[in-house]
Amino acid sequence: MANKKIRQKTNWKKELALAPGYLIVGIWVVFTFVLIGWIILASFSTTREIFDGNLFKFATGLHPENYVKAWKTHKVSSYFMNSLVYTLISCTVVIIVAAPAAYVLSRFKFRGNGFLQNLFATALGIPAIMIIMPLFALFSQMHVNQSRGLLIFLYIAINVPFTVFFLNTFFHNLSVTFEEAAAIDGCSPMKTFWMIMLPLAQPGIITVTIFNFITIWNEYFISLIFANTAKTRPVAVGLYSMIQSMRYTGDWGGMFAAVVIVFLPTFILYIFLSEKIIASVTGGAIKG
Amino acid sequence: MKTKNKSMIVIFLAPAIFLYTMVFLYPTIRTVIMSFFKVEGVTDAVSAWKFNGLGNFRTLFHTPLFMSALQNISLIWLVGGVGVMLVSLLFGVILTSGVHGKSFFRSVIYLPNVISAVAMGTMWINYVYNPNFGLLSSILKTLGFSEAAATQWTGPEMVFWSMLVAYCFGMVGYHMLIWMSGIERIPVDFYEAATIEGANVFQRFSKITLPLLKGVCRTNIVLWTVSTMAFFVWSQLFSPVNLSASTVTPMSYMYELVFGASNSAITVRDSGAGAAIGVILTIVVVIVFLFTQLIVRHDDVEL
């Protein structure tokens, strides 16, 4: 009893010392909620209610038709589906390319290993501006510009270095005994990788894939240049072009509904998997 | 056994190296070469390139709009950088000091990073900065600052700072995570020993946390530099129709110069100058990288 009381007492004292911290972080968090909450409310309101600042009353009821309008007439459905296809395919292929490379770099000693690791690491610092012009020229020559396949190819290539980098650390931390056991059982090194090591690396693969998903879903610059037709646009560029046209039509309810549709997938993913996403940020950044 | 491994190494690395060569190595080299040539269209054949020496760089430094872009990016890097680093470090320290709901706070502060920048920008421009019903003007009105409430946040005078604040708001979470993982790697007994010796919160922070965070600080500065050099979406969002001196950045200038929008302020295509901009930004990243390494290397503390 007495013991418990003392512990509680010291706790309160500690909490009081932390109060300024709670206050500062609290204000920031409230602001974030207000920002996102307001957009969600606005997406269910009419343009007029938004302008009058009467969002919380819903005098004319909820307006889910904003979403229908955004989805259908403003082509968000097309952008959304594009992004979904781009993201799912790229995320899968990135792993197929990056995981074997990361495995070899983390497990085998050979000349140039360190050089290759550094090479992949430098890609994280190369500005996009350095690579787009020659690529644009190259793909124009090949007549594949403004196509879905090209964008997917670029997303894969651009995200390989970070993924190699991340999985490299992950394989490094797996015990070598797995390979030894497999070798004794007569399993070839390559088979060992696909059958044993890759499944073992699943937690790392999932973490880095979620992170890649968010990156690719929100990508803007590359798709602005390489897939900017009404048919091929992903959500970020689609949303931008839509906002541009909204400025003339003045459909604010529809615009905010579109904003919500665009951020909803990553938002929901984040609500459930924020710990994993955060792990991939710190895991990727600290090594550099 | 050894030859077996050799073929495995080659097969497993080949696709990644191929993609790297094609999408990073070859383009980077070509862009560097291109920056020394007079090239009009980005798709022009190499035979149409004319050697120009440092001419592209000279042209750029004599273009007022590009100088504005350089000035803007410097301010974003310096003012935004100092702001983001201080706020994110403060948050990192608060969240690692034993508060309840650490992972909740951490998740919410990082949240803007998972939302498309276009969506975030739309929220800031159309809600926070709206002069009629916006958050900022409502708060200022409630507090009785009616004059300040009437400020046109996205007007020509304020737009740069409005853009910078909106951008930095999202970046805080990312850098906070990096600070936090650095702080969490510092052994707890350091603090316990210091507390026994009678060190207070601020002493512990300045004598233990800060010196041991040098390496993390370097990571943060390099990452900040890399991401600000690519500053583009926000500048497009805050000046959607034309490039304006107050929001232009090297990236948005290069985009107009090379790929040009229909309602562009720039009518002449100049891809050589576009490449030169890329080279300038890369040099900045390299300089910052080498500089931070120099500072930290002198007395790096291994944990």
Q: Does the distance separating the beta carbons of B271 and A133 come in below 8 Å? A: yes
Q: How large is the average pLDDT for residues A245-255?
A: 81
- Ranking A33-37, A222-226, A247-251, B187-191 by mean pLDDT, the lowest is A247-251
For residues B257, B261, B262, B265, the Cα torsion angle rounded to the nearest 10 degrees is -50
Contact list, A98 vs chain B (CB under 8 Å): 16
User: Chain A contact for B145, CB < 8 A?
Assistant: no
Q: Does the distance separating the beta carbons of B285 and A127 come in below 8 Å? A: yes
Which pTM does this prediction carry?
Answer: 0.90
Per-residue pLDDT of chain B (303 residues; tens, 9 = 90+): 455 688 899 999 999 999 999 999 999 999 999 999 999 888 888 888 999 989 999 999 999 999 999 999 999 999 999 999 999 999 999 999 888 889 999 999 999 999 999 999 999 998 999 888 889 988 888 888 877 777 888 888 899 999 999 999 999 999 999 999 999 888 888 888 888 888 888 888 888 888 888 889 999 999 999 999 999 999 999 988 788 899 999 999 999 889 876 555 666 788 999 999 999 999 999 999 999 888 776 555 544
Distance from CA of B293 to the nearest CA of A (A): 11
Q: Annotate chain A with DSSP letters as a single string.
A: -HHHHHHHHHHHHHHHHHHHHHHHHHHHHHHHHHHHHHHHHHHTS-HHHHHHT-TTT-TT---THHHHHHHHTT-HHHHHHHHHHHHHHHHHHHHHHHHHHHHHHHH---TTHHHHHHHHHHHTTS-THHHHHHHHHHHHHTT-TT-HHHHHHHHHHHHHHHHHHHHHHHHHTS-THHHHHHHHTT--HHHHIIIIIHHHTHHHHHHHHHHHHHHHHH--HHHHHHS-STTT--HHHHHHHHHHHHHHH--HHHHHHHHHHHHHHHHHHHHHHHHHHHHHHHHHHHH-
Decide if B273 contacts B296 (C-beta within 8 A). Answer: no
Q: What is the pLDDT of residue B179?
A: 94
pLDDT digits (tens, 9 = 90+) for A79-107: 999 999 999 999 999 999 999 999 999 99
Residue B111 to residue B76: CA distance in whole angstroms = 22
Q: How large is the average pLDDT for residues A213-230?
A: 93
Sequence-distant (≥ 6) Cβ neighbours of residue A4 within 8 angstroms? none
Task: Name the percent of chain A lying above pLDDT 70.
Answer: 93
* Residue B143: C-alpha distances to residues B138, B146, B148, B151 (Å): 9, 8, 10, 15
Q: What is the pLDDT of residue B266?
A: 65
Q: Does the distance separating the beta carbons of A133 and B34 come in below 8 Å? A: yes
Length of chain A: 288
Q: What is the pLDDT of residue A154?
A: 96
Q: What is the pLDDT of residue B188?
A: 85
Q: Does residue B267 sit in helix, strand or coil?
A: coil
User: Chain A contact for B261, CB < 8 A?
Assistant: no
A50 pLDDT tier (thresholds 50, 70, 90): confident
Q: Does the distance separating the beta carbons of A269 and B17 come in below 8 Å? A: no
pLDDT at residue A3 greater than cutoff 50: no
Q: Does the distance separating the beta carbons of A53 and B133 come in below 8 Å? A: yes
User: Chain A contact for B3, CB < 8 A?
Assistant: no
CA-nearest of B86, B224, B95, B103 to B167 is B224
Q: What is the pLDDT of residue A19?
A: 86
A4 pLDDT tier (thresholds 50, 70, 90): very low
Residue A272 to residue A60: CA distance in whole angstroms = 34
Decide if B116 contacts A218 (C-beta within 8 A). Answer: yes
pLDDT digits (tens, 9 = 90+) for A140-161: 989 888 889 999 999 999 999 9
Contact list, B42 vs chain A (CB under 8 Å): 133, 136-137
- Which pairing describes strands B50-51 and B37-38: parallel, antiparallel, or unpaired? antiparallel
pLDDT digits (tens, 9 = 90+) for A159-170: 999 999 999 989
Q: What is the pLDDT of residue B202?
A: 83
Q: Does the distance separating the beta carbons of A286 and B116 come in below 8 Å? A: no
Contact list, B172 vs chain A (CB under 8 Å): 28
Distance from CA of B15 to the nearest CA of A (A): 6
CA-nearest of B230, B168, B179 to B205 is B179
Which residue of A107, A133, A179, A259 is the best one to mutate when testing the B interface, meaning the one whose CB has the most B CBs within 10 A? Answer: A133
User: Chain A contact for B13, CB < 8 A?
Assistant: yes
